[in-house]
Structure 1
Amino acid sequence: MKAVIFDLDDTLFDHSGSAELAVRAWVAGLGLAPTDELVAQWVAVEDEVYPRFLAGELTHQEQRRERLRAFLPILGLPVPVADGELDEVFIGYLTQYKSSWTAFPDARPALEVARGNGLRIGVLTNGNPVQQNAKLAAIGLAHLIDVVRTSEELGVSKPDPLTYLSTCEALGVEPGETLMIGDNLELDVLGARAVGLVARHLDRSVGHTLPELLDLL
């Protein structure tokens, strides 16, 4: 192997944990009880709407508005008509989300192991380049990464073959020389393997860690 490509959200960056903390703080700030059920409903809305952004049906900002249009009625709150008003409401959540950003404890050790073994390091993520690069900077990992590729800048999302091949090209390596690691079996493993990368599934529910997967090299 000459390079390793990591997924970002829920692989290096704890998106689920950050989002839960953010929803609880945001909902409490609105004067409501931040229940487990509300957190689950926020996640369900995101899971329903975000794929429309990845498919190109919505811009990144439009998917934020659509999430609020679905979630505010669950809270019993009115839905603003104007896009600008929706954007202002979303800032309340986004502020809490950004303040909760954190890396998984094994993220930096994994990157340092990869760097120490002379591997080029990439990140391939289905997201917005501004926000995803901001996450990496905020959690202190940006300086350890050589290449970041996002679906929005590429115009297609994982598991489109272009996403993996473009990242390999930017890293200056062939697919067969590259390991892909991520938490999503379909997007980070099966899609990568289909175009010739070696790929491993990070399943934290069964105790996988990033350094452990790198140690298998």
Structure 2
Amino acid sequence: MKAVIFDLDDTLFDHTTSATAAIHAWVPQLGGTPTDELVAQWFVIEQHNFDQWLAGALTHQEQRRGRLRDFLPLVGQPVPADDDELDQVFTGFLDSYQASWSAFPDARPALEVARSNGWRIGVLTNGSTRQQNAKLEAIGLAELVDVVSTSEQLGFSKPAPQAYQLTCEALGVNPADTLMIGDNLELDVVGAHAAGLSAEHLDRAAGITLAELVRATS
């Protein structure tokens, strides 16, 4: 093995906890009461609109507006007709989300093990270049990563084979010499295997840690 590629959201970066904390901080500002059901609905809405962005049906900002159009009625709030007003409302969520950004405790140890192995380290994420790089900087992991590839930058999103192959090319390694690790079985394991990489599924619900996966393949 000469390189390892990590997924970012819910692999290195704790997106679920960060977004959940943001909903609990932001919804009261809208006059609503955050509940577990409301948080669950947010993630369903987020995925639906985000998938439309990945498919090219929406811009990144439009998918944010789409989330609000779906979510605001759930907290009894009118949906602004003006895009600028929608963007302003979304800023309330975004500020709370950014204030809650954090890495998983095992993220840095996993990267350090990979670095000690002499492996090149990449991150491959279906997201916007600016925000994903900002996350890595904010959680203190950017210095340990050699290459960050985003779907926005590549023009391909996981599970398209080109996403993995172009990331390997940027790392200067062959797919056969590269390990992919991530929390999404389809995107981070099945898709990576199809592109010629080795892959490991990070199943945190089963008690698997990121550092353990890296050590096991060292």
Same structural fold, with TM-score higher than 0.5 when normalized by the shorter chain: yes
Partner secondary structure for residue 77 of structure 2: coil
* Equivalent in the alignment of 1:82: 82
Root-mean-square deviation (CA, aligned residues, Å) is 0.7
1:104 equivalenced with 2:90 (yes/no): no
* Equivalent in the alignment of 2:165: 165
Gaps of 5+ in 2: none
The equivalences for 1:185-196 within 5 A come to 185-196=185-196
* Equivalent in the alignment of 1:21: 21
CA shift for structure 1 position 31: 2.5
- Mapped to 2, the partners of 1:109 and 1:28 lie a distance apart of 36
- Letter in structure 2 aligned against 1:135: K
* Equivalent in the alignment of 2:201: 201
Cα deviations by residue, 1:62-119 (Å, 9 ceiling, x for unpaired): 1000000000011111101111110000000000000000000000000000011100
Cα deviations by residue, 1:151-210 (Å, 9 ceiling, x for unpaired): 011112100011000000000000000000000000000000011100000000001111
Q: TM-score, normalised by structure 1?
A: 0.99
Question: Paired residues, what number?
Answer: 217
- Mapped to 1, the partners of 2:47 and 2:88 lie a distance apart of 22
- Letter in structure 1 aligned against 2:199: A
Q: Does the Cα contact within 8 Å between 2:32 and 2:76 map onto a contact in 1?
A: no
Partner secondary structure for residue 122 of structure 1: strand
1:54 equivalenced with 2:54 (yes/no): yes
* Equivalent in the alignment of 1:33: 33
- Mapped to 2, the partners of 1:169 and 1:35 lie a distance apart of 45
* Equivalent in the alignment of 1:178: 178
Q: TM-score, normalised by structure 2?
A: 0.98
- Letter in structure 2 aligned against 1:46: E
Gaps of 5+ in 1: none
Q: Does the Cα contact within 8 Å between 2:30 and 2:77 map onto a contact in 1?
A: no
The equivalences for 1:113-128 within 5 A come to 113-128=113-128
Partner secondary structure for residue 199 of structure 2: strand
